[in-house]
Amino acid sequence: MTADLVLRHLEKRFPNGTVAVDGIDLEVGAGELVALLGPSGCGKTTTLRMVAGFEDPSAGTIELGGKRIDVLPPDRRGATMVFQGYALFPHLSVFENVGYGLRVRRVGGQALRDKVHAALELVGLEGLGDRRPQQLSGGQQQRVALARALILEPKLLLFDEPLSNLDAKLREQMRLEIRTLQQRVGITSLYVTHDQAEAMTLADRIAVMDRGRIAQLGTPREIYEEPADRLVAAFVGHANFTAGIIRGRRGDTLIVETLGASRPTSFAPGVYAEGDQVDVMIRPEEVHVVPAGADGAIAGTVVASSFLGGSALYQLLAGGVELQATVPMERGVPLQPAGAAVGLRVRDGAFRAFPAGSVPREGAARG
Amino acid sequence: MIAIRRDPAAAALALMVAAAIAFGLGYPLANVLGQAVLDDLGRFDVAPIVRIFSFPVPRAVVVNSLLMGVLAATMGTLLGFAFALTTARAVRGPHRSALHYIALLPLIAPPFALALSTIFLFGRQGLLTRGLFHWETDPYGLTGLLFVQTITFFPVAYLIFDALVRQLDPALEEAALNLGASRGRILRTVVIPLLRPGFAAAFLIIFVESLADLANPLLIGGDFNVLASSAYLAIIGEFDTRKAVAYSVVLMLPSLLAYFAQRIWVGESSVVTVTGKPSGGRAQRLGASFRVGLLVVTGTVAVLVLLLYLTVLAGAFTKLLGIDNTVTLDNFKFVLGGIGTRAMTDTTFLSAVAAPIAALLGLATAYLVVRTKVPGRTVFDYVVMLGAAAPGIVLGLGILLAFNHRPFLLSGTAVIFIIAFVIRTAPVSLRTTVAALLQIDPSLEQASANLGAGAATTFRRITLPLVRRAVLSGAIFSFTRNMTTLSTIALLVTPNWRIMTSQILNEIDAQRLGSGAAYSTILIVIVLAAVITLNRVFGKAPIEVGA
């Protein structure tokens, strides 16, 4: 895959001294969708706005299709954006909103009408051209914003948390629609979100950002299964952490003593030596709840349990460590009540070690 | 945040606005100040000015002015608050609308109308006082002046409180009620404290307006001389420029102090009362006895306002109201047969030419302040606002002094009036447009840039249509204010251009009260007709801005 959008050591310092983006490098391949994911204040939106030209980088360059665009004004960059609040022009009709960019480029008459109609059809809004944006539902407004950005056949499509104003159901539906449309049109995209499920569904690759830097860049699966540090682990999905001590090394796994036994453990980048303290992560779905006293099971107690429909969520206590477990539910199988003694089993490959206290816990990121 | 700083157009715009303000406002005010601190030979010397205030009469004038300003501001503020409380909490439906519009009526009154009808009703030959009750009264002096100024200026306070009361979150009052507070206690401990910025703003604005008022002190002030009227009389009666300048400078000080205190102090704190989205719930009604008391006060004033307006009409259509009540059209014949027709066309023409210019100057400044990164852009805001903060008589004096000698010899021309009107009314356009621009989410303009539009295209296609109503209302306000102002133009009139308010003053001076009333009626009709027509033609349904 050839790199289409290239950010080189991009940096943004505000006059008050805040470093919003702290020198990031990122390559987005042609037709690829990369999501910038992170908590608020991590620099993802500032990065996107620098690409769009609404913020000037303090240092670094931005290239698109082999040409530097950071030197161009925002109206010449060929990168259209879907805004967070859609930013539909309230005094213009849907048709005029979608056709705005073409009108600016002096396209008129039949050519304009054809293209606008094609764009409206693409997003499933045929026949609504005469409406005002205010007369449309949130999902429809979202589609207008999409059509308005796509009609210019841009080299790059930018998304600034486009789904954050929609309710949960519609959000899930729009995620799939955007993904389908983006792949059909085959357009290079940069997508900012703080919603990890959204990033997982939509993105070819995710860049998890933390305090102005890219903490990890990888496919959704890599990010989830092999998080590079504790923050990424905690931000993408839920992560249980427990303490462990390194007892040895076998090939590319560590042997870590945790939860009362020595266990083969994958590990995040870092320096490890025998006898070191490490933090060990276990995903909730890897914690299996079995009857108390089952062979080889870790002894635990249920602190709280709740029924979620297809699965159950347990808060458990095992050897002084709090663990969360999601367990598939079958019809008729009772939920273990609070206070019940249970056994816990975790698959050998499900442990992942991090240098102890290597990264501050989630929520420590600047606002 | 949009990167217009790459656009040299912003710098050019800043230069143009700066030049316009320097010419129309800075230069005239500099002329006033120059006369104040330089002697006849152009040397720095404040002794002549200081000497003027060593005499008892000018000192009394200063004391009178401050007394009048404080009293009028207090009464106007309280009355405005009473009206706002009544329309918000004590009446509903058609009564509410009626009271609302009656409270706004005095805003469109030409400066003499209320004073004139006060003389008709309560004067020495007053219809009510002498005619009905056979009282010997004398409205001329502080009492009559305060009465007229309170009626004239309370709508300003009403508008401020009305906006604030609407923004009060009913949930706060419900919470207080829920915690066991009585209705009176809620008013005292929740509502009034939250409106405190409104009280400060209303008081300061009315104080400034009262000091700057020229028409009422001239007409009904009698021997009670204030700074504005004294400055006027110094020029018109004594041809004493230095004296006029002395009064003007002293008049400027409290006006500007009060004005900027209001901008800096109230302007910021008033944001605190805006609690965002109303959280539902119903505003609490008032206690029964309190409500009745409130209705008596506001009802009486509302009737009085209507009565005053009807009296202008009655005065216009009778020989001499109170003495000879024969219905006649003579007053109109006299006015329209004389120079009245020319005054009508001249005033309307000048006002109409100045209005769009004022609106554009306001728009240009607002755009500079809100949407560009031109350094020192907030200074533009404050300097343009000076045009409204400076008392009209001072501005008029400055323009008189500045443009009656080279290099800008303009006295007697239309230009001089247009400058005065534009500088005087651009600030309102600036405020309405700034408010409208701040309402527009910057992402709309960014979206336009993102879709390939340059700054100029974005302005024309997105920004301008969205602030159109604000610009239009700025222009309409400018027009009405131009038509009805006296203080700004009182010193500028020459036989070349006839101004209606100045003609009214002449009629009343000559004791032709009926013609004065006829003139005032015509003026009100022109203003109302223009406002209604302009709203019909340009004012389509307002656009909801923002997501």
Range B513-536 average pLDDT: 86
pLDDT in tens, B433-467: 888 888 888 889 999 999 988 888 898 999 999 88
Q: Give dist(CA B314, CA A200) in Å, integer.
A: 79
Burial B205-222 (b: 16+ CB within 10 A, else e): bbbbbbbbbbbbbbbbbe
Whether A135 and A207 share a structural domain: yes
Chain-centre distance for alpha carbon A240? 20
CA distance A185 to A151: 11
DSSP string, A241-266: EEEEEEEEEETTEEEEEETTEEEEEE
CA–CA distances in Å: residue B127 to residues A123, B135, B314? 74, 10, 11
Cβ(B67)–Cβ(B142) under 8 Å?
yes
- Is there a contact between A89 and B450 if contact means CB atoms under 8 Å apart? no
Domain B1-44+329-547 annotated CATH 1.10.3720.10: yes
Give tens-digit pLDDT for B42-72.
777 777 777 777 777 788 888 899 999 999 9
Contact criterion met (CB < 8 Å) for B446 and A148: no
Out of A176, A202, A231, pick the residue that ends a domain.
A231
Nearest CA in chain A to B443: A87
pLDDT of A316 reads 94
Angle at B219 between CA B216 and CA B225, to 5 degrees: 75
Task: Give residue ranges of A with CB < 8 Å to any B CB.
Answer: 52-56, 73-76, 79-81, 83-91, 100-101, 104-105, 134, 148-149, 152, 165
The DSSP bridge partners found for residue A210 are A213
B516: tokens are 């004065």
User: B458 to chain A: nearest residue by CA?
Assistant: A104
Q: From the candidates A83, A107, A137, A153, which should be mutated to test the interface with B, based on the most B CB atoms within 10 A?
A: A83
The confidence band for B39, taking pLDDT boundaries of 50, 70 and 90, is confident
Ramachandran class of A13: left when φ > 0, alpha when ψ lies in -120 to 50, beta otherwise: beta
Domain assignment of residue A176, yes or no: yes
Is B352 exposed, middle or buried (CB count within 10 Å of its CB: 0-12, 13-18, 19+)? middle
Specify the pLDDT at position B172: 73
Same domain, A225 and A270: no
pLDDT for the residue A63? 95
Asked if residue A282 lies in contact with residue A326, where contact means CB atoms within 8 angstroms, the answer is no
On whether the CB atoms of residues A270 and A246 are closer than 8 A, the answer is no
What's the order of all strands across the beta sheet hosting A59-64? A19-29, A3-13, A59-64, A67-68
Q: Answer yes or no: do A133 and A281 share one domain.
A: no
Mind listing the pLDDT tens digit for each residue in B389-407? 888 889 999 998 888 877 8
Across the range B482-510, mean pLDDT stands at 87
Same fold? B1-44+329-547, B53-274+284-323: yes
Domain end (from A231, A256, A280): A231
Residues A185 and A57 in one domain: yes
Mean pLDDT score, B521-539: 82
DSSP for B107-126, please give it: GGS-TTHHHHHHHHHHSTT-
Q: Test A74 with B450 for CB contact under 8 angstroms.
A: yes
Taking CA atoms, what residue in A is nearest to B543?
A91
Q: Which of B5, B448, B451 to mutate to test the interface with A (most CBs of A within 10 A)?
A: B451
The one-digit pLDDT tens for each residue of chain A (367 residues) are: 577 999 999 999 998 889 999 999 999 999 999 999 999 889 999 999 999 998 999 999 999 999 999 999 888 888 999 998 888 998 899 999 999 999 888 888 999 999 999 999 989 898 899 999 989 998 899 999 999 999 999 999 999 999 988 888 888 888 999 999 999 989 999 999 999 999 999 999 999 999 999 999 999 999 999 999 888 998 888 899 999 999 998 888 999 999 888 899 999 988 888 999 999 999 999 999 998 888 888 999 999 999 888 899 999 999 888 999 999 988 888 888 999 999 999 988 899 999 987 544 443 333 2
Q: Which pLDDT does position B545 carry in this prediction?
A: 34
Is there a single domain that holds both residue A193 and residue A225?
A: yes
Interchain contact, B446 vs A87, CB within 8 Å: yes
Q: CB A139: neighbour CB atoms within 10 A?
A: 18
Return the residue of B nearest to A49 by Cα. B446
Strand A352-355 relative to strand A287-291, pairing: unpaired
Tell me if A269 is assigned to some domain: yes
Closest by CA position to A57, among listed A81, A82, A22, A84: A22
Of residues B91 and B360, more confidently modeled: B360
Helices vs. strands in chain B: H and E counts, helices first = 26, 2
A122 lies in some domain: yes
Same domain, A350 and A269: yes
Nearest to A178 by CA among A101, A122, A114: A122
A151/chain B closest Cα distance in angstroms = 10
DSSP 8-state secondary structure symbol assigned to residue A336: P
CATH number of residue A266's parent domain? 2.40.50.140
Q: Who wins on pLDDT, B133 or A134?
A: A134
Dist CA B433 CA B187 (whole Å)? 34
pLDDT of B1 reads 38
Classify residue A73: in a domain, yes or no. Answer: yes
Question: What sign does the dihedral A102-B447-A26-A58 (CA atoms) show?
Answer: positive
Q: Where are the alpha helices (DSSP H) in A38-129?
A: 44-52, 94-104, 109-122
Cα B522 from chain centroid?
A: 20
Give the CATH superfamily of B53-274+284-323: MetI-like (1.10.3720.10)
Q: If DSSP codes are grouped into helix, strand and coil, which group holds residue B4? A: helix
Please check whether residues A71 and A105 belong to one and the same domain. Answer: yes
How far is residue B393 from each of residues B63, B213, B249, B428, B506, measured CA to CA in Å?
18, 9, 11, 18, 17
With CA atoms as reference, the chain A residue closest to B445 would be A87
Subunit contact A105:B443, Cβ cutoff 8 A: no
Q: Of A322, A364, A43, nearest to A235 (Cα)?
A: A364
Domain of residue A58, residue span:
3-231
Task: Write phi, then psi, for B345 (nearest 5 degrees).
Answer: -70, -40
A294 in the same domain as A187: no
Per-residue model confidence as pLDDT tens digits over B170-207: 677 777 767 767 777 777 777 788 888 888 888 988 99
CB atoms B443 and A87 under 8 Å? yes
User: Cα–Cα–Cα angle for B10, B13, B16, nearest 5°?
Assistant: 155
**Closest-CA distance of chain B to residue A200, Å:** 27
Decide if A74 and B3 are in contact by the 8 Å CB cutoff. yes
Q: Which of A56, A74, A88 sits opposite B449 (nearest CB)?
A: A74
Confirm whether A85 is domain-assigned: yes
Contact by Cβ (8 Å): B108, B309: no
Last residue within a domain, chosen from A168, A201, A231: A231
Element spanning B78, H or E: helix B56-85
Q: How many other C-beta atoms lie within 10 A of the C-beta of residue A111?
A: 10
Q: How many domains does chain A have?
A: 2
For residue B407, cis peptide bond before it (omega within 30 degrees of 0): yes
Does residue A110 sit in the same domain as residue A149? yes
* ipTM for the predicted complex: 0.78
A205-217 exposure pattern, b = at least 16 Cβ within 10 A, e = fewer: bbbbbbbbbbbbb
Measured at the CA of B170, the angle between CA B165 and CA B174, to 5 degrees, comes to: 135
- How many CA atoms within 13 Å lie on the side-chain side of B171? 7
Query: What DSSP character marks residue B5?
Result: G
CA distance A145 to A123: 10
Domain ranges in chain B?
1-44+329-547, 53-274+284-323
- pLDDT at res. B54: 76
User: Domain check: are A184 and A260 in the same one?
Assistant: no
Concatenated DSSP letters for A157-214? EEEESTTTTS-HHHHHHHHHHHHHHHHHHT-EEEEEES-HHHHHHH-SEEEEEETTEE
Residue A257 belongs to some domain of the structure: yes
Closest-approach residue (CA) in chain A for B464: A91
- What is the torsion angle, in degrees rounded to the nearest 10, for the CA atoms of residue B169, residue B175, residue B177 and residue B179? -160
Q: List alpha helices for B262-376, DSSP H.
A: 267-269, 288-317, 330-337, 340-371
Question: Cβ contact (<8 Å) for B451 and A101?
Answer: yes
d(CA A244, CA A351): 11
A206 and A349 co-located in one domain = no
Q: What is the pLDDT of residues B216-274, one digit of tens each?
A: 898 888 888 898 898 898 888 888 888 888 889 888 888 888 888 877 766 544 433 33
Do A53 and A181 belong to one domain? Answer: yes
B423: tokens are 């500088």
